[in-house]
Chains A and B, each alone.
Chain A
Amino acid sequence: METFPVLLIAIPLGGAFLVPILCKAWDRLAEIVTGLCLAAVLALSIYLAFSLEAGKPLVYLFGNWPVPLGIAFAVDRLSAFMLLVVSILVFFSYIFAIRYMDHFTGSGKFYTLYLLMLVGMNGVVMTGDLFNMFVFMEIAGISSYALVAFGTEAEELEAGFKYMVMGEIASMMILLAIAFIYAATSTLNLADISRSFAAMDKTPGFWFVLILLMSGFSIKAALVPFHSWLPDAHPSAPAPISALLSGVFIKVLGVYAMARIFFNVYGVSRASYPAVFNALLILGLASIIIASLLALKQTDYKRLLAYSSISQIGYIVLALGIGNELALIGALAHILSHSLGKGLLFLTSGSVVYRVGERDITKFTGGLGKQMPWTSLSYNLGALSVAGMPPFLGFFSKLFIILGAVKAGFIVPAVVAGLFAVVTLGYLLKITNKVFWGKEGIKGIKESPFVMVFAMVSLVVLLVAGGAFFFWLKPHLLQPAADVLLKGTEYAEIVFRIGAGG
Chain B
Amino acid sequence: MIILVASLILFLVGLYAIITKRNMIKVAVGFSLMEYSVNFLFAIVGFRPGALPPILQAVEVGKVYSDPLPQALVLTAIVIGLGVTAFMLSLILRLYNRIGSFDLEEIQRLKG
Q: For residues 174 through 188 of chain A, which have their beta carbon under 8 Å from a beta carbon of chain B?
A: 175-176, 179-180, 182-183, 186, 188
Residues of A within 8 A of B67 (CB): 186
Residue of A nearest to B41 (CB): A179
Q: Say yes or no for A155: interface residue by CB 8 A criterion.
A: yes
Contact yes or no, A161 B95, CB < 8 A: yes
Q: Mark A3-18, 1 if CB is under 8 A from B, else 0.
A: 0000000000000000
Task: Tell me the bound Cα distance from A159 to B107 in angstroms.
Answer: 10
| Chain B residues closer than 8 Å to A161, beta-carbon distance | 24, 88, 91-92, 95
CB atoms of A179 and B42 under 8 A apart: yes
Q: Output the least CB separation between A235 and chain B (Å).
A: 9
Please give me the residue from chain A that is nearest to B34 by CB atom. Answer: A172
| Nearest-CB residue, chain B, relative to A235 | B110
Q: Is B99 an interface residue (CB 8 A)?
A: yes
Closest to A231 in B: B112
Using known A-B contacts A154-B107, A168-B31, A303-B112, determine if residue A176 contacts B76 with beta carbons closer than 8 Å: no
The answer to whether the Cβ of B20 comes within 8 Å of any Cβ in the partner chain is no
| Cα–Cα distance between A131 and B45 once the two chains are bound (Å) | 15
Query: What distance in Å separates the Cβ of A208 from its nearest Cβ neighbour in chain B?
Result: 10
Q: Mark each residue of chain A from 137 to 176: 1 if its CB lies under 8 Å from any CB of chain B, else 0.
A: 0100010011001001111011111101100110010011
B65 vs chain A, min Cβ distance (A)? 12
B41 — which chain A residues lie within 8 A by C-beta?
A: 176, 179-180, 183
Which residues does chain A contribute within 8 Å of B112, judged by CB atoms? 231, 297-298, 300, 303
- Provide the residues of chain A in CB contact with B73, threshold 8 Å: 131, 182
Q: Does more than half of chain A's interface fall in helix, strand or loop, or is it mixed?
A: helix
Given the known interface contacts A159-B110, A179-B38, A303-B112, the answer about A164 and B76 at a Cβ–Cβ threshold of 8 Å is: no
| Closest CB in chain A relative to B70 CB, distance in Å | 7
- CB neighbours (8 Å) of A145 from chain B are 87, 91
> Cα distance A164–B91 when bound, in Å?
10
In the assembled complex, the Cα of A165 lies from the Cα of B87 at a distance in Å of 11
Contact (Cβ within 8 A) A175 B91: no
Say whether A164 contacts B108, CB under 8 Å.
Answer: no
Contacts of B37 in A (CB 8 A): 176
Interface residues of A in 298-325 (CB under 8 A from B): 298, 300, 303
Q: Is B94 an interface residue (CB 8 A)?
A: yes
Interfacial chain A residues near B88, Cβ < 8 Å: 161, 164-165, 168
Residues of B within 8 Å of A168, CB to CB, are: 31, 34, 84, 88
Interface string of A406-442 (1 = CB under 8 A from B): 0000000000000000000000000000000000000
Query: Do B18 and A157 touch (CB < 8 A)?
Result: no
Determine the interface band of chain B, counting residues with CB < 8 A from chain A: 35 or more
A464 interface residue (CB < 8 Å to B)? no
A203 to B89, CA, bound (A): 40
Q: B110 touching A138 by the CB < 8 A rule?
A: no
Find out whether the CB atom of B31 lies under 8 angstroms from the CB atom of A165: yes
How many angstroms between the C-alpha atoms of A165 and B69 in the bound complex?
28
> Nearest-CB distance from B21 to chain A (Å)?
11
B81 to chain A, nearest CB (A): 9
Give min CB distance, B33 to chain A, whole Å. Answer: 10
A169 touches B18 (CB 8 A): yes
Judge if A232 is at the interface, Cβ distance under 8 Å: yes
Task: Answer yes or no: A389 CB below 8 A from chain B CBs.
Answer: no
Residues of A within 8 A of B11 (CB): 172, 176
Asked if A165 meets B109 with Cβ closer than 8 Å, knowing A138-B80, A145-B87, A175-B38, the reply is no
B13 sits at the interface (CB 8 A): no
Contact of B84 among A135, A138, A300 (CB under 8 A): A138
Q: A182-B70, A183-B45, A231-B112 are in contact. Are A154 and B38 (CB under 8 A)?
A: no
Q: Given A179-B41, A179-B42, A164–B109 Cβ distance below 8 Å?
A: no
Please, how many angstroms separate the alpha-carbon atoms of A160 and B31 in the complex?
A: 15
Which residues of chain B are near A165, meaning CB under 8 Å? 18, 27, 31, 88
In angstroms, Cα B76 to Cα A162, docked, is 25
With CB as the reference atom, state the residue of chain B lying closest to A175.
B38
Asked whether A135 lies within 8 Å of B76 as measured between CB atoms, the reply is: yes
The reply to whether the CB of B83 lies closer than 8 angstroms to some CB of chain A is yes
In the bound complex, CA of A152 to CA of B96 (Å): 12
Of A152, A175, A182, A298, which is within 8 A of B45 by CB?
A: A182
Cα A159 to Cα B76 with chains together (Å): 27
Q: Which residue of A lies closest to B28 (CB)?
A: A165
Q: Nearest CB to that of B77 among chain A residues?
A: A175
Q: Are B109 and A155 in contact (CB under 8 A)?
A: yes
Are the CB atoms of B42 and A182 closer together than 8 Å? Answer: yes
Report the Cα distance A232→B109, complex, angstroms. 10
Contact of B95 with A157 in the complex, beta carbons under 8 Å: yes
Additional pairs, 16, CB under 8 Å, beyond known A172-B38, A179-B41: A135-B76, A135-B80, A149-B94, A154-B109, A155-B109, A158-B95, A158-B109, A162-B110, A164-B84, A169-B18, A172-B11, A172-B31, A176-B11, A176-B37, A182-B73, A183-B41
Residue numbers of A with Cβ under 8 A of B are 131, 135, 138, 142, 145-146, 149, 152-155, 157-162, 164-165, 168-169, 172, 175-176, 179-180, 182-183, 186, 188, 231-232, 236, 297-298, 300, 303
Q: List 29 A-B contacts (CB under 8 A).
A: A131-B76, A135-B76, A138-B84, A142-B83, A145-B91, A153-B98, A154-B109, A158-B95, A158-B108, A158-B109, A160-B91, A161-B88, A164-B87, A165-B88, A168-B34, A168-B84, A169-B15, A172-B31, A175-B38, A176-B37, A176-B41, A179-B45, A182-B42, A182-B45, A182-B69, A182-B70, A231-B112, A298-B112, A300-B112
